[in-house]
Structure 1
Amino acid sequence: MKSIEIERAEAITWIRIQMAQHGLALDDLQAAGCFAEPPPATLPGAVRYRNAHGQGWDGRGAMPDWLQRAVHAGQTVEHFRVVSTT
Structure 2
Amino acid sequence: MDERKRDSMIAYLRHRMEEFGITPDMLASALASDESEKTNARYRAVTGETWSGEGEMPQWLRQAISAGQSIEHFALSPKTAEKAQGKRAVDWEKDPFAGSPLARSSER
TM-score (normalizing by structure 2): 0.37
Give the helix-richer structure, 1 or 2.
2
Larger Rg: 2
